[in-house]
């Protein structure tokens, strides 16, 4: 049995995932407008993953006797000063999402809701991957000197993900 409180918190997490989709889609668009098609493709892939996370939670809520309810999503930031700033914002956002997931796991434990705890286990592992993949890009950006030619090469490399 999953409590009403837990279902409400899962609905809140579904919102967080959809908000992540919005943020990353906006980052992709900003990259595209600046001619960084590879970074844009990488970010679009990221946004698609967020949408799939939202659907996963949607499915779980509905399978546990709840109802997925959609909240309004605020307008995301449209312009970033640099490639580094965008990826730094992405990492900070992922760290926020990790904290949200951790809170949900602790709540599931408090409520002795093993099914939800197990469901959330997938998200715990996913967050490790998500933070690592953004950190990897930031590490590369740090190693590179930020010149247009190296950014061009990294843009090409990341474009391969898409």
Residues near ligand FEO (CB under 6 A): 17, 20, 50, 53, 94, 97, 130
The residue sitting closest to ligand FEO, measured at its beta carbon, is 53
- Closest approach of Cβ 20 to ligand FEO, in Å? 5
Burial class (CB in 10 A: 0-12, 13-18, 19+), 35: exposed
Q: Indicate left, alpha or beta for 154 from its phi (over 0: left) and psi (-120 to 50: alpha).
A: alpha
- Closest approach of Cβ 134 to ligand FEO, in Å? 9
Q: Quick one: tokens of 149? A: 């030619």
With the C-alpha atoms ordered 40, 46, 47, 49, is the resulting torsion angle positive or negative? positive
Q: Which is nearer to ligand FEO, 55 or 150 (CB)?
A: 55
Q: Which is nearer to ligand FEO, 92 or 114 (CB)?
A: 92
Q: Which is nearer to ligand FEO, 17 or 155 (CB)?
A: 17
């Amino acid at each position: 049995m999953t409590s009403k409180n837990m279902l409400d918190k899962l609905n809140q997490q579904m919102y967080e995932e959809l908000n992540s989709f919005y943020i990353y889609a906006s980052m992709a668009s900003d990259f595209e407008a600046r001619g960084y098609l590879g970074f844009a493709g990488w970010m679009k892939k990221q946004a698609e993953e967020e949408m799939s996370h939202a659907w996963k939670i949607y499915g779980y809520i509905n399978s546990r006797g709840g109802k997925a309810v959609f909240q309004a999503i605020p307008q995301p930031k449209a312009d970033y000063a640099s490639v580094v700033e965008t990826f730094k914002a992405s990492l900070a956002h992922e760290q926020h999402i990790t904290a949200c997931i951790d809170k949900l796991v602790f709540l599931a434990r408090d409520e002795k809701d093993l099914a939800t705890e197990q469901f959330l286990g997938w998200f715990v592992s996913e967050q490790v991957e998500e933070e690592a993949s953004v950190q990897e890009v930031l590490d590369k950006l740090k190693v590179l000197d930020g010149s247009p030619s190296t950014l061009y090469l990294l843009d090409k490399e990341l474009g391969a993900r898409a």
